[in-house]
Amino acid sequence: MAQVLEFKLPDLGEGLTEAEIVRWLVQVGDVVAVDQPVVEVETAKAMVEVPCPYGGVVTARFGEEGAELPVGAPLLTVAVGEPAAHTEPQGSGNVLVGYGTSETPARRRRVRPTPAAASPAGRPDGTASFARTALNGTARARVGALHTEGPVPVISPLVRRLAREGGVDLRQLAGSGPDGLILRADVEDALRTRAALGSRTAEAPASTTHRPAEARPAAATASDTRDAGIRIPLKGVRGAVADKLSRSRREIPDATCWVDADATELMRARAAMNASGGPKIALLALFARICTAALARFPELNSYVDAEAREVVQLDQVHLGFAAQTERGLVVPVVRDAHARDAESLTAEFARLTEAARAGKLTPGELTGGTFTLNNYGVFGVDGSTPIINHPEAAMLGVGRIVPKPWVHDGELAVRQVVQLSLTFDHRVCDGGTAGGFLRYVADCVEQPAVLLRTL
């Protein structure tokens, strides 16, 4: 007799507690192999495929595409073959997102589920519709009781902060998650409901006030204009970016300094390196080498502030983040141990991470743990920027476009390849002298690459 096993959304790691279903990779009735990816989900940090640790026939799926599920919520059920006597079916154990065996997944084939498999564990097929009702991002059913005593179960500190900032009493909410767990959507629904009630309350006196008839359409038109726009949910990667940038702006007293530099010699050095017949060296890799050399001289900028301990923590290793624009928004992949890599290794790693970012295949580990960020906004055709620091880092180097400009070289006016460099830094970790020294050293290496060679 087949046994039906339930596979739940696994612990995603890196503090992630929920994920949005982007695309189902299997249908009810499909045969799946052990560790075959069954669903593609988007977390606040990456889009990843979830492998199922069981092999068998898919008998039910929980949640439609676009639904947001908390960790521990059911994903699907699988009917496995008859187990041996006195034994239980065992999965692979590989239940973390992005992990599985090296075996090639079996080709899917469609089979007709048996009546027993169609109602797993004695439950009717309505469990899938319940999941859609309870967990759909647009129409969530309120389940569970109000929490009148003890701590209120909330899915993440972010949700608790959202409620606090919006003035929502969590004890008045019935969470739609498992066992009454309060999700972000529950708080957002409460905020929307309160806003709608407030709007109607504010408009009520206007209906009883005697105003000139011609004044009333203007108010209605203004209200219609506000409501006519397109609403785009701040969730997934976009929501995570919004939260992180908002936190950075609230907590970090940043300042920016900038300088123009003559990059002619750096461009010539790169051309000579690429003409040697070896692997091509990316310009970003050269700036990364300059960054790591500068951070070795000015370690104050490779740090973060421990606000609770009121300490500046200087780090020994440089994990270099770089801004990458994708169809899903801006992400910041991290090159591990950038200080220990040469230009060729940096070029290869930049290419690998950029390709993974554009394909939406970066893992949470590849998007976290940065200690300093390099932002090449010159690719957008702009000269300068004052970016927001990637919290909790202490600084970010910006590189503008490199363009021919008039420049005084060797006492004469000439056309040179000029770039604007900017450094945005946390004023708590250092003063302007340190920041200026760092930026001046970077500019010197750009203008005279031999300066960098003397420090290696």
Q: What is the pLDDT of residue 455?
A: 59
Of the residues 116, 135, 154, which one is the last residue of a structural domain?
135
| Whether residue 191 sits in one domain with residue 52 | no
Q: For strand 395-399 and strand 3-8, is the pairing parallel, antiparallel, or unpaired?
A: unpaired
Residue 194 domain-assigned (yes or no): yes
Kindly state whether residues 298 and 173 are assigned to the same domain.
no
Kindly state whether residue 182 falls inside one of the protein's structural domains.
yes
Number of domains in the chain: 3
Looking at the structure, tell me whether residues 444 and 333 fall in a common domain: yes
Flag whether 297 is in a domain. yes
**Closest by Cα among 103, 97, 17, 102 to 366:** 97
283-297 vs 432-447: helix crossing angle, rounded to 10: 140
Q: How many Å apart are CA 137 and CA 17, to the nearest integer?
A: 16
- Let me know if 427 is a catalytic residue: yes
Question: In this structure, are 300 and 434 located in the same domain?
Answer: yes
d(CA 179, CA 374) in angstroms, rounded, equals: 44
pLDDT recorded at residue 343: 94
Predicted confidence at residue 146, as pLDDT, reads: 61
Task: Name which of 65, 46, 78, 192 is nearest 131 in CA terms.
Answer: 65
Domain boundary among 152, 186, 208: 208
Contact (Cβ atoms closer than 8 angstroms) between residue 56 and residue 90: no
Domain co-membership, 277 together with 386: yes
What pLDDT digit, counting tens, does each position of 410-452 carry? 999 999 999 999 999 999 999 999 999 999 999 999 999 988 8
450 and 376 housed in the same domain: yes
Whether residue 432 sits in one domain with residue 369: yes
Query: What pLDDT, on the 0 to 100 scale, is given for residue 119?
Result: 36
**Which residues of the chain are modeled with pLDDT < 70?**
1, 12-16, 44-45, 82-152, 154-158, 178-179, 198-228, 454-456
Question: What does the pLDDT read at residue 169?
Answer: 85
Whether the Cβ atoms of residue 377 and residue 388 lie closer than 8 Å to each other: no
The DSSP output letter for 34 is: T
Structural domain contains residue 236? no
Same domain, 116 and 153: no
Are 13 and 108 within one domain? yes
Structural domain includes residue 234: no
**Best CA proximity match to 67, nearest among 129, 20, 27, 11:** 20
Confidence at residue 202, expressed as pLDDT on a 0 to 100 scale: 56
Q: What is the CATH number of the domain that holds 418?
A: 3.30.559.10
Handedness of CA 310, 316, 317, 322 (dihedral sign): positive
E-state strands within 43-187: 47-52, 56-61, 68-70, 74-80
For residue 54, give its domain range: 3-135
- pLDDT attached to residue 264: 97
Residue 308 belongs to a domain: yes
CATH code at 188? Answer: 4.10.320.10
Residues 160 and 80 in one domain: no
Does residue 53 belong to any structural domain of this protein?
A: yes
Q: Which of 175, 190, 208 is the last residue of a domain?
A: 208
Say whether 236 sits in a helix, a strand or coil. helix
CATH number assigned to the domain comprising residue 15: 2.40.50.100
Cα–Cα distance measured from residue 74 to residue 64, given in angstroms and rounded to the nearest whole number:
12
Residue 59 lies in a domain: yes
Category of 93 on φ-ψ map: left (φ > 0), alpha (ψ -120 to 50) or beta:
left
What pLDDT shows up at residue 137? 39
337 is catalytic: no
> Strands (DSSP E) along 351-451, which ranges?
372-375, 395-399, 403-409, 412-426
Cross-strand bridge partners of residue 373: 321, 396
Looking at residue 416, its pLDDT comes to 97
Whether the CB-CB separation of 347 and 329 falls below 8 Å is answered with no
Q: What's the distance, CA 382 to chain centroid?
A: 25
129 shares its domain with 154:
no
* pLDDT at residue number 158: 64
Peptide bond into 105 cis (omega under 30): no
User: Quick one: 125 and 157 in the same domain?
Assistant: no
Distance between CA atoms of 162 and 188, rounded to whole angstroms?
Answer: 8
Q: Which residue among 86, 339, 431, 444 is the active-site one?
A: 431
**What pLDDT does residue 174 have?**
81
Three-state secondary-structure class, residue 163? helix
Among residues 125, 169, 224, 427, which one is catalytic? 427
